[in-house]
């Protein structure tokens, strides 16, 4: 075989190896990208294409603009069964820590307009409770933790724009869904607060924050 022929064979072999390595690298990267996208598509089936939540018979919470630390903490609570929700427990338990972080950061950066739609008659009462609390009922001002604009911080959740019926349901059924395990997290502070609010006061606060942007 001539020297030229041998060089052609070697070049062909080298190119074949190079394309093979490139192809395997792309195969390794594709599932990572597709994995996150697939999980996001699944989340958005219930929580909306822009994370705006779902305002229907079975209300789903708004995730858009939510504090990523809060989303991560609550997903861990579902995984560890400290928060009760059969659907979310099934969803969360297959998520890796890195996937949990990636999902949380994605929703943090979304900012659709809130649904609103809550009864407006009690908004003034809700605003007063949110800003001043109810000292006689040992209910602190919501703004003390969640901020004047309701955007939260770290593991304290954003309330601004939250879906009204979802928030009413969470506050009225707090003990049935939260704090199921022995571990205590940041949300434990809400147990006495939720307990000391009447149904009408819960509805007023939920109505007020549902219109915040």
Window from 98-102, 167-171, 184-188, 194-198 with minimum mean pLDDT: 184-188
Question: With 90 as the cut, is the pLDDT of residue 60 above it?
Answer: yes
Share of the chain above pLDDT 90, in %: 68
- Please name which of 159, 176, 169 lies closest in space to residue 57, comparing C-alpha atoms: 169
What kind and span of H or E run contains 107?
A: helix 97-108
Domain count, the chain: 1
Specify if 36 maps to a domain.
no
Residue 67 structural domain: 48-210
Assigned domain for 112 exists: yes
Ramachandran bin of 150, using left for φ above 0, alpha for ψ from -120 to 50, beta for the remaining angles: left
CATH (domain of 181): 1.10.760.10
Q: Which of 135, 158, 153, 169 is nearest to 209 (CA)?
A: 158
pLDDT confidence of residue 179: 67
The rounded mean pLDDT for the chain is: 84
Q: What is the residue whose two structure tokens read 């939920």? A: 206
**Model pTM score:** 0.80
H or E element in which residue 37 lies? helix 3-47
Q: Is residue 127 domain-resident?
A: yes
The helix (H) or strand (E) run that includes residue 176 is: helix 174-177
- Whether residue 171 lies inside any domain: the answer is yes
Average pLDDT over residues 2-23: 37
């Amino acid at each position: 075989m001539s020297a030229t022929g041998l060089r052609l064979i070697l070049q062909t072999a080298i190119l074949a190896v190079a394309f093979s390595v490139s192809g395997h690298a792309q195969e390794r990267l594709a599932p990572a990208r597709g994995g996150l996208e697939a999980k996001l598509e699944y989340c958005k089936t219930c929580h909306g294409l822009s994370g705006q939540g779902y305002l229907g018979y079975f209300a789903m919470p708004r995730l858009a603009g939510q504090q990523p630390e809060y989303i991560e903490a609550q997903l861990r609570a579902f995984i560890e069964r400290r928060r009760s929700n059969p659907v979310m427990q099934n969803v969360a338990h297959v998520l890796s820590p890195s996937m949990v972080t990636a999902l949380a950061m994605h929703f943090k950066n979304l900012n659709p307009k809130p649904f609103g739609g809550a009864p407006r008659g009690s908004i003034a009462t809700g605003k007063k409770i949110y800003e001043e609390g109810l000292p006689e009922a040992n209910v602190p001002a919501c703004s003390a933790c969640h901020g004047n604009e309701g955007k939260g911080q770290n593991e304290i959740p954003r309330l601004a724009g939250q879906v009204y019926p979802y928030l009413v349901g969470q506050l009225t059924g707090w003990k049935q869904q939260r704090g199921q395990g022995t571990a205590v997290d940041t949300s434990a502070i809400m147990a006495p607060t939720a307990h000391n609010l009447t149904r009408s006061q819960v509805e007023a606060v939920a109505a007020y924050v549902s219109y915040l942007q």
